[in-house]
Amino acid sequence: MPGLTTYPPFPEDIPTCPLIVVDYQLVRAGNEEEINKLWKAATELGFCLRNHGVEEIDDMFEMGHETMALPLEEKLKFDEKGASFGYKVPGVMILDDNGTRDVTEYINVSKDDALAWPAVVHRTYPSTVNERMESTIKPFVKKSLEINHFLIDVLNDKLGLSKGSLAEFHKAQERSFCISRVIRAPPRLVPDEKVFLTAHTDYGSLSFLHNRLGGLQVLPPGSDKWLYVKPIPGHAICNVGDALNIFSGGIIRSNIHRVVPPPKDQGQYDRWSLIYFTRPNDTAPLKHLGEKSPMIAEAVARAPAGKYEPGMTMAEWMVRRIRAKRGANYNDPESRKLRRGTADTAIPEVVYA
Ligand SMILES: O=C(O)CCC(=O)C(=O)O
Ligand SMILES: [Fe+2]
């Protein structure tokens, strides 16, 4: 079980990318030095968050474990079918231009469904999810949202936006693609096993990720060398997504990352990860906020025309990116290009670790 297994430690002798560690309690207390660390991290590579106080992580992993242990036939009754809410079966995503299929499975629980439970907003879920909706998932969603909303408010002020400008697009009670996700990837099968999740930027605002094993890698800006992120117990890994990049005219960076099998001995185990994705409301227009902040206006003026005005709502951005990842929609390498987010570094097309 993910909460009980003792895994081999992350190997000492492989290069890693140390992320900036931000103390959430210090940020909450208004500590300027910590807020500056958060700002530096959000404009570069993302960060690790300590002292976040979310207690439901082990129970969320248990929920994921119980769900994946259901018979395939049962899981398929809740197939997300490309709509992002529900169970994703291995093999529906393509990993490269040869159409290689992925090997991961996951369960996505919509924020709207968790908060409305027992009412249904988007869809129903397996019994293993329902049983933990009130005790585990709802509190996990509320706490993850509270943390991410607080951090977004801090970034809002740093961007020179008037109070609450970004919060307008992140109302918990409005419909969104916000989800809790538990992913299972199988043990490494062959020495040069392909990637679990190809290079991407996250789609929304902030992702709050909890890892037990290695495997997550980042591509530092301008580099062609992937570096592992070493999981630190009790620390969440926070990635900025495309929406904050666009709202901020590129000042906040949505860093490129991917997932490969865990390194060395860790590769013999199932790899579990848990993420809360905070995404703007479905109707939020994805457009830079240059008219509300001179700092953003300056950044936009330096960028190619239209770069931060994709002309889509958040929901349209999500649908475009999700569609283009799926094998069912794959026609040729050109069709796969539609999956692109706001990556500002060329992505090396090699899929092997
Ligand atoms: O499993 C991980 O460590 C990261 C997963 C991820 O990047 C994603 O689901 O967007
Ligand atoms: Fe990601």
* 184 CA to centre of ligand 1 in angstroms: 11
Number of domains in the chain: 1
Residue 134, domain member (yes or no): yes
- Position 203: which residue type? Y
193 domain residue, yes or no: yes
Which range, of 111-120, 271-280, 311-320, averages the lowest pLDDT?
311-320
For residue 148, the CA-to-ligand 1 centroid distance in Å is: 17
Q: Which residues surround ligand 2, an ion (CB under 5 A)?
A: 202
The binding-site residues of ligand 1, defined as CB within 6 angstroms of any ligand atom, are 183, 197, 202, 209, 211, 216, 257, 259, 273, 275
Rounded CA-CA distance 63/133 in Å is: 9
What tens digit of pLDDT does each residue of 176-187 get? 999 999 999 999
247: in domain: yes
The pair of three-digit structure tokens given for residue 155, joined into one six-digit string: 């970034």
Specify if 174 maps to a domain. Answer: yes
Tokens of 93: 């995503």
C-alpha distances out from residue 4 to 58, 117, 182, 200, 230, Å: 9, 29, 16, 31, 20
Residue 6 lies in a domain: no
Closest CA to 27 of 13, 14, 42: 42
How crowded is residue 184: how many other Cβ atoms within 10 Å of its Cβ? 21
How many Å lie between the centroid of ligand 2 and the Cα of residue 239? 7
State which ligand 1 atom lies nearest to the alpha carbon of 185: 1
Query: What is the pLDDT confidence band of residue 222, given thresholds at 50, 70 and 90?
Result: confident
C-alpha angle 301/305/310, rounded to 5°? Answer: 115
Lowest model confidence (mean pLDDT) among 40-49, 127-136, 190-199, 336-345: 336-345
Share of the chain above pLDDT 70, in %: 90
* Cα–ligand 2 centroid distance for 257 (angstroms): 6
Atom of ligand 1 nearest to the CA of 258: 7
| Residue 1 maps to a domain | no
Q: Among 273, 322, 325, 339, which residue has the most ligand 1 atoms within 8 Å of its CB, making it the best to mutate?
A: 273
Ligand 1 closest atom vs CA 181: 9
User: Is residue 106 over pLDDT 90?
Assistant: yes
Contact in structure between 216 and 257 (CB atoms under 8 Å):
yes
* pLDDT value of position 351: 42
Burial of residue 232 (number of CB atoms within 10 Å: 0-12, 13-18, 19+): middle
Q: What is the mean pLDDT of residues 89-116?
A: 91
Is position 4 within any domain?
Answer: no
What pLDDT shows up at residue 329?
65
pLDDT value at 4 more than 80: no
Average pLDDT, the chain: 91
Nearest Cα residue to atom 1 of ligand 1? 273
Establish if 154 belongs to a structural domain.
yes
pTM equals: 0.94
Atom of ligand 1 nearest to the CA of 271: 1
CATH number for 161: 2.60.120.330
Q: From the CA of 344, how far away is ligand 2's center (Å)?
A: 15
- The ligand whose atoms approach the alpha carbon of 237 most closely is 1
Region 234-258 average pLDDT: 95
What ipTM was estimated for this complex?
0.98
Residue range of the domain that includes 259:
20-340
